[in-house]
Chains A and B, each alone.
Chain A
Amino acid sequence: MKCHVPGPNVKVLARTVHALARFGDELYLESLPDCILLRTLNAAESAYAMVKFNKNFFSYFNYNYYSTEDNEGLKCKISMKSALNTFKSPTHIDKQVENLEIKLDPESCKLIFQLKCRHGIVKTHFVSILDCKAMQAVYTKDTVPNRITSPQRILSDALNNFQSSDDQVTLEATSMSLILRNYIDCSADLTKIIRTQISLKPAEFDSYMIGTETVITFSLKEFRALLTFSEALNLPLQLHFETTGRPAVFIVHNGTTFEAHFVLATTKADNASQTTTTQNTNIERSKRKDTSGTQGSAKKKPHLDPDISKCLDEDSHLFNFVDIPGDNEIILSNKLNGNHSINKDKTVNDLMDCDNIPASPAARTMIKSVFKRCFESTFDPRSIQGAVLAENSDSD
């Protein structure tokens, strides 16, 4: 694969890489006959980003530059750090760089970025390829009931009201208003944390469609990153989401040359600490009822709605790793098929492993109180019956 990116688009690419860097530590690049896909996944596998650059984003795009019989996409994984190094200072990059050439040779172990700068300076970055895997997330964005299109500034303005220490945000979507709150962990000390709530009116958005009213909570770090991205490119942001537990998809696209999908996992809001922010006690009460209802249903798993249980199942393998066969193996199609079945087994095994992970220990350990009785004033050593496990080292 070989392609040329013209100067102004290098800036877009640089912004993309910087946004993706806030998500994950590795960058997956996949080249298809008519587009290039950049993907990343965060370490906790709760956030995924995919940016698709169409053929017309490039001034020159040759998918079959190195081989002509290739019909599988070229895939590679590079470290995010090296990608960031290539695209330093995205605000000024369009003034320095006139053209960027990206080359991916299936035979080579390096991805080549060649920046042709002003005054005839050429910078070439040989980026090591870590892997030939591709990664894809399973999510739906078209059939979801809730869709909001927001002008780029509004949400980032709203987020300015939050403290920099806040790490998750709860979004409550009703047909009357969109409420953003900082999410407070139930273990946090309430006397130290500011609770912030922002209510936005539907009229502020370009389009506002809430099919099922819902409350979702997701990570603020990635949300801030994608807002910066949409703001930097001056493009509106589309929010597609369903209910708690299903991924929320944020889309930024300019219609023709590129499309970015940011997928964030959502968790259930901790209502005990959150409801307090609502000013109206009536709302509070009705909400409490509501939460107790949903909690009840969560406990009785067998009675789960088949739809929900299906979506929960889907969630558990939101992200699939797909091995692509090495170049030698491509020739034989039956071998390829075999490979696929092996992969399936592998993913199944992985899933099994996930199930076997022991539960994390409870927050409050009881170790502290093991010897507590010995220090109590009412303690009588004679009251201890039975064998002595560790004798007194002093024998008087």
Chain B
Amino acid sequence: MKFRAVMIDAGPMREFSNVVTIISKLSKECVLRLSDDLIYFIVSEENSGPSPPILWCEIPQAMICSEYQLIGLDEEHKDIYLALNSGNLARSLVTLKTAKSLKMKLTKKQCPCLTLEIESPCTVSQQTRQVTHDIPVTVVPRKLWSDFHEPRVPDPDISIELPPLKQLRTTIDRMKTMASEVVIRASAEGRLTLQIKTDMAKVSTRFKGLRVEAFGGPIEHSDSETETQINEDMSRVCYCRVDAKKLSMFLSAEQISTNSTVCSIVHKKLVILCLQTDENIKLQCFISGIVY
């Protein structure tokens, strides 16, 4: 197995470090999957055994790396899966924002390591200084690869553009102090509603005029649950109840400069947040719905 990648552009390096920082906030452990054209970061739910990933991040290597070499086990198993501590990686990449270049290598130094060689400029002279981090990793054996396949999700009933993440996050952060669950409701008319209910109050925040990317047809509601709203055609509205803390955590991705953020909802089952940056880095979060 061999892996070697070099980054030299400041923009992609910053993005890369931002992505890793977000992942480190979501989970202690993550899996780095290296394939011929994509670098994946995969986060599974902690302490719940093999379960579909909750975060799926794809980075096209050609967009961020100037050099990329990968030799897997054999012809059939070209990819490399590495499990590593995401905090370790994030802390080592903190200095990447000012760095000149980053070299990533898979090395064996008493234990398998992902070696990061960061070349950063000196403050005074034209010369550079070399910083090397050896981050211990575990190579994921082939029989466990199936745990890290892209989650197969049902076709979403609606895909709607999200308002600015910062706004959304402050709203959610206020709401999560009052209730642990939040209902996300999206309508085909471009309305997104966040709603919480407590014994004392019902709070909802509405965003209007959002672009609807796709709508999967009329939604069937069982009447007992649905609140009748006179001015809305309920067959064009779908909703999902999710954990407020999880949602807020995913929204910490606000620091990535995205060019599109889309929220897809599978009615009452799943919320998928998808961020895409200019470098074609795709970050997908899966938050499963809470059903009573």
Contact = CB atoms under 8 A, between A and B. Distances in A.
Nearest to A273: B110
Given A153-B123, A154-B123, A157-B123, A191 B138 contact: yes
Contacts of B85: 192
A275 B88 CA distance: 21
Contacts of B136: 190-194
A277 B111 CA distance: 12
Given A160-B95, A204-B124, A277 B134 contact: yes
Contacts of B152: none
Nearest to A198: B131
Contacts of A157: 123
B92 A196 contact: yes
A198 B109 contact: no
B91 A163 contact: yes
A374 to B, nearest CB: 35
Nearest to A276: B109
Contacts of B179: none
B110 A201 contact: no
B103 to A, nearest CB: 11
A158 B123 CA distance: 11
A198 B130 CA distance: 6
B129 A158 contact: yes
Contacts, number: 74
Task: State the majority secondary structure of interface residues on B.
Answer: strand
Nearest to B138: A191
A199 interface: yes
Given A191-B111, A276-B109, A204 B125 contact: yes
B130 A199 contact: yes
Contacts of A161: 92, 95, 118, 131, 133
B113 to A, nearest CB: 8
Interface residues of B, number: 25
A62 to B, nearest CB: 43
Interface string B83-97: 001001001101100
Given A163-B91, A196-B92, A277 B109 contact: yes
B95 A194 contact: no
A195 B115 CA distance: 9
Interface string A188-219: 00111111111111011000000000000000
A279 B132 contact: yes
A151 interface: yes
Given A154-B123, A190-B111, A200 B129 contact: yes
B130 A204 contact: no
Contacts of B92: 161, 194, 196
B28 to A, nearest CB: 12
B127 interface: yes
Interface string A227-239: 0000000000000
Given A160-B95, A190-B111, A194-B88, A204 B127 contact: yes
12 contacts: A194-B134, A194-B136, A196-B92, A196-B132, A197-B131, A198-B129, A198-B132, A199-B129, A201-B122, A203-B127, A204-B124, A276-B109
Given A194-B92, A194-B134, A204-B127, 8 more contacts: A161-B131, A191-B136, A191-B138, A192-B136, A194-B133, A194-B135, A198-B131, A201-B122
